[in-house]
Structures are given as structure tokens and as C-alpha cells.
Structure 1
Amino acid sequence: MRLIEQAWYHNHPIKWLLLPFNVLFYLLSALRRILFNLGILKQPSLDIPVVIVGNIGVGGNGKTPVVIYLIEQLKQRGLKVGVISRGYGGEKRNSPLLLTNETTAEQAGDEPVLIFKRCQVPVVVSSDRVAAVNLLISQGCNMVISDDGLQHYRLKRDVELVIVDGKRRFGNGWLLPAGPLREGVWRLKTVDKVIINSGLADVNEQHMSLKGNKLVNVHDGSVVAVADFIDQHGKDNVVNAMAGIGNPERFFISLHELGFSLGQKIPFVDHHHFCETDFGQFSSNAPLLMTEKDAVKCSGIAPQNSWYLPVEAHFDDNQGEQLIDLIITRCKNYGF
């Protein structure tokens, strides 16, 4: 675990050295919010509804599976959904990039490529999210989901959803850089829904879990049910695992809960750019399991016996349907 994460989640004393920078971060972010609230900084109008799927902290909280869930459900309602993203981990760009089948994770970032490949909907990456929305409008989209962007106040929004890692929650509760938060916990009172990824949900929070029941070969796309994979390799046979996500341990725990016996398990930083030497750490005689987010970057360099675990967002009772109904109701002003 990186030293900064020890400060955020395990009370390492280095946080006190970073505390003075919190004041500067708070003042700058608060000033920006005030300028938008007063109308001094403008929020351009847009002709279609925008749903923000974001968080108040850094690191992977499970936003992408929620984005995929919303896309699939809204498509069933007859909507043409597009997705915008900053494209973290990809090339920095101001002009919008519309993803195609040839777009790589190095160009656009791993999460946008994952969403495009899984959902086959228009996806645009750009630091100018307003320009990205306008490009999606030109593609015929009538609803936009923003993967992250809660703090991008220039982008008008109709629904705000915040995803929280139920195990790590808000760490030490401090703002960056001494803590993991981009905005204070007070911000949760202003959003439409707070969705807890695993862990226990408090009052007014909605519980979600991520579940996967199949493995997909990184190279040829062949699919094997998890139960069959374990049977084929023997329950006592060891598999290796890697994860370059915000909380790699969550992935390793999920594999253990599925019944896998883990040998080597190597975490990488979020949005890690993989190279061939990364895979030299693993023994070649065991299958290598990874996340779908990592797989979009590894198809040309991972060992042949490499597999990824796609996961789906699952909500308790009928809360998923209620979430979709909220979005549709909020967007009726657009003629839905």
C-alpha cells in the first residue's frame, strides 16, 4: 500500500505534514463552488438530461458497474444513451474523442474503453465535458451519463448519484491531500442518491453489490462459468491474481469468496499502464485472473492463460428499478 493511502485509511502520521495543503485545497474548491452559485462562472445550458455518477473521494468505488447498469436499463426504456468521461489514464485532450472499435485504453483511458466494448453505446472522452455532451447530441443521444464529474460544476446535471466504497467509506474524513476526499461528507446531503458498494448502508443510503459468475479469456474471449472453471482446474489448484484498480484488495477478496485458492496476488496502482515485465512476476503454470478494467489494457501482453472476471451491479429488492424511475421522472422536462 502506498504511503499516501496509509495516511488516508490507516492513520499514518504523515497526514499531519500534509494538513496545511488541505486549507489551500478547501479554499480553492469552495471559491469555485461559490462562483458557480453566484452565476459569475456560467453553467452552459444543454438540450438533453445529464446523470452524474461520481464520488466525493478518490480511488475506485464501483462507478463503472453502476454506469453500465444504468445504460442497460435505460436502453430497455427506449433511450439512446451516451457516456462522457475525463478519460483518466489516457492521453490528455481538450477536444472530444468519440471512441471507436480501434480506440485503445492508452488513448482514451481504461474505463471508457471498457464501457464502450461492453455496452456498444457512444462514448466520448474530453476534459471539456460540455463539448463532450454536445458531440453526443450530434450522435443522436437523448440522455448522457457522466462517468465521474461530480465536482465538474461547469457541467449542468439533472441527477447526481454518489458511489461509496462500503468498506473504506471516507477514510480519515479529511480533504486532499491529507485525506482521500475531494469534497466534504456534507456534499452527500445535496445529491439524489448515495449508493454503498458492499459493506453496510446507513439510513438514506442504497446498498449495491458487485457480482461475477463467469470468466472470460483475455485473448480469445471464450467464456467459462466460475463453478466450471474451478471444477476443471481442481478446487485445490492455485490461481494467481492481479488488480490495477482503486482498491485491489476488494478484487482479491471477491475471488476468495467465489471459491478460488489464491497464490500470488499483486496489486497495482489505479489506471496502471501495464507492460510485459509486469507479468514476469507470476508463475507461468497457474491461471492469472484480473479485472475487466485491467483486461482492456493487457490483451496483447498478458500470458495465454489469463482471464478476467466481469461484474454486474446488483441492488437490494427493487431499488434498482426505483433508481431508474427517479432518473426518468427527473428528466420529464425533456419530453420523456
Structure 2
Amino acid sequence: MASNAATLESLLLRAWQRRGVLACMLWPLSLLFGALGAMQRNGYRSGRLLSSRLPAPVIVVGNLFVGGTGKTPLVIWLVHALRNAGYVPGVISRGYGTRHDSVIDVAPDALPAEVGDEPLLIAQRAGCPVMVGRDRVAAARALLQKHPAVNVIVSDDGLQHYRLQRDVEIVLFDERGAGNGWLLPAGPLREPVSRRRDFTVVNAARTPPGVAADIAADSHRMRLVGGFAEALVDPTRRIALGDLSGRILAAAGIGNPERFFSMLRAAGLTIRTMALPDHHDFRDDPFRSVHADVILITEKDAVKCRQIEALKADSRLWVVPVAAQIDGPLAQLILEKLHGHPTA
């Protein structure tokens, strides 16, 4: 079942990288999608649709390409940068796959099914208050009420949630760039690449396709660095990636699994790969019949595997933590944008 879902997802993403037959057939629908999006943006810009300004500055981290481009590591990096500058940051998130409509304060030991895997990882790695909710305005207000010391809010995704006014927008691309440059469903874009933003971050070694030269020239390069693995059964046990041996399987249930696999190959590992759907539910144990000495997984997947009896005791499972490294003065530029806000 998971394999079929991953295959379908992979086929769709490949179709979105070019303007082939399927994309062309869907192109008229993308015009409708774009028109509806433009109407919404114009509605908020003109004041016909009401938006909310919060008493703390809001930084939105998001992507135009549907799916994952590396937002979670960037959010964690940003939280640390803000804290180092003297701010008290908090994070709001949609909480993909959550079962509740209400706003939830994310505890470090929360269940991924209740709060979402990415918000849980942010709470654990960033060590800051995290609030999840489908209504980001409600989530932000609840965050400030529950944690009154918070004086800057980072929104994990939410570029299209225009009801929440924002002070800084960061748009993230990865090596897939803008795909075929078309909007959903003919392409992978939620909004046009020309959409305004304050900063562009490119999570790739080179300028990705479909990103205009002027945007790319003004972008900040980001890379995800991971040099070791830690045992799922005992995180105090660590081993350098280059010291791993035997039959190694790399598995990833993230938006772009190939990014994880490429990082491991760059570390000199010879691996077999298992691409799982984004936000995969590991209760079906995809590793039960796998013949491997070592199974490498992402931190995002590990927050779910740690709460499943059969997996948390599997000594083959090793987690590869990653950290975002960003070239240039992005942190300083963001702080300059925030400077002068009354809550700073």
C-alpha cells in the first residue's frame, strides 16, 4: 500500500517537471486555480477580505512547490538565530494529519498523530513553544496567550494563509526549482514564481530550473549537513556515517526522499533506498521483511518510529540528524527587518 502511494507520488512529481501530455491536459484547470488564487490575494490586498495583525512580528517560512523543500530544518535554524539575537521565538504550524480541529500546544512527548510529525520535531529540536491548528490566526493568538514571553512568531508554512498578516516572508526552493513552471494541477506550484517575498532561500548546490535569474542572484544558499547517525533504541550511541558498514538501507517518508539519499551517497555510503510517501504512517512496519544490517531514517520519521513498539526496539534503525547551514547574512537581514518593531 505504502509502495503504491509512493510510486503514484513519484510519477506525479516527475510529470510536473516537464510540460508533457498529462501536464498539458491539466493546464486549463491550472488557469482556473490561478484565477481563484489571484482573486483571494486581491481581496486581502484591497481590504475586502479581513486579515489580522498580531501584537508580535510574524515570519512566514514556506514554499511555492507543493510538498517538502526543507522547511523544517530552516525553521529550526531560524528559531536558534532569533534566540541568539535575544528574541523569544515561538512556532505555529498547520500540523499535517492531525485529528483535531482545535488548537494544540505541542509538548515534546506528544503523539505525532495528535500534533503532526514536523511540529513535534520542531518542538524537540528547537526547544521553543509550538502551537498547531488549521486556523493559523487562532494558533498564533493561543501561542501568545499560553506563552506571553514569546515576542516573535515563526509560521511553519502558511504563505497562502493571507488572513494572518506577516512582517517577513521567506520562500524556499530545492533542487527541483519551479518544476515545469505551471500552477496546480498542471504543475507543482501553489502560486506563481513571481510572487513577492522578502527573502529567497535555495536548498540546492546550484540554481534550480524555473527560478528566474534575478531571483536566484538575490537568493541565499542552504544545505543540510548530517555527519553521523544515532541509534533509535539509544540516541546516546552515535557513529560517523563514514564508519557504517554492511548492508545499508536508507528509508525516507519526506517530501523529497532523494535529497536524503543524495546526502548519504555524498558521505560515501553505498545504499539501497526505500522512498515512502510524505508523512508516512509507520504502524504497518515497512521494515519487517527487509534484509539489512543498518536502516537509516530521517529525524521526521524517527519521531513516529519511537512511539511504535516493534520499531523502537529494532536495533537496525539509525537516525541521521541534519542541520541547516545557510550562506550569507540571512540572519542579520531578517533581524534588520524586525528591528524597530515595538515588541523587539
TM-score (norm 2): 0.89
Task: Decide which moves more: 11-20 or 238-247.
Answer: 11-20
Match of 2:109 in 1: 102
Matched, 1:304 2:311: no
Matched, 1:176 2:184: yes
- Among candidates 233, 238, 242, match of residue 224 of structure 1: 238
Q: What displacement does 1:275 show?
A: 2.1
Q: What displacement does 1:156 show?
A: 0.6
Match of 2:253 in 1: 244
Match of 2:142 in 1: 135
Identity %: 40
Match of 1:207 in 2: 221
Match of 2:212 in 1: none
Q: Is the 8 A contact 1:91 1:109 kept in 2?
A: no
When the two structures are aligned, how many residues end up with a matched partner? 321
Match of 2:341 in 1: 333
Match of 1:82 in 2: 90
Deviations along 1:306-325, one digit per CA (max 9) or x if unpaired, are 01111111122xx2xx2222
Q: Secondary structure at the match of 1:209?
A: strand
Q: What displacement does 1:158 show?
A: 0.5
Q: What displacement does 1:286 show?
A: 1.1
Q: Is the 8 A contact 1:214 1:223 kept in 2?
A: no
Rounded to whole Å, the distance in 2 between the matches of 1:112 and 1:134 is: 17
TM-score (norm 1): 0.91
Q: Is the 8 A contact 1:43 1:153 kept in 2?
A: yes
Rounded to whole Å, the distance in 1 between the matches of 2:239 and 2:109 is: 29
Q: Is the 8 A contact 2:220 2:330 kept in 1?
A: no
Q: Is the 8 A contact 1:87 1:111 kept in 2?
A: yes
- Among candidates 290, 294, 297, match of residue 290 of structure 1: 297
Deviations along 1:272-302, one digit per CA (max 9) or x if unpaired, are 112234122421x411001111111112242
- Among candidates 161, 164, 168, match of residue 173 of structure 2: 164
Which runs of at least 4 in structure 1 moved beyond 6 Å after TM superposition? none
Matched, 1:257 2:257: no
Matched, 1:191 2:197: yes
RMSD, aligned α-carbons: 1.6
Q: Secondary structure at the match of 2:305?
A: coil
Letter in 2 for 1:211: V
Counterparts of residues 5-20 of structure 1 (less than 5 Å): 5-20=13-28
Rounded to whole Å, the distance in 1 between the matches of 2:179 and 2:336 is: 34
Q: What displacement does 1:120 show?
A: 1.6
User: Gaps spanning 5+ residues in structure 1: where?
Assistant: none
Q: Secondary structure at the match of 2:14?
A: helix
Q: Secondary structure at the match of 1:58?
A: coil
Q: What displacement does 1:10 show?
A: 4.6
Rounded to whole Å, the distance in 1 between the matches of 2:343 and 2:92 is: 22
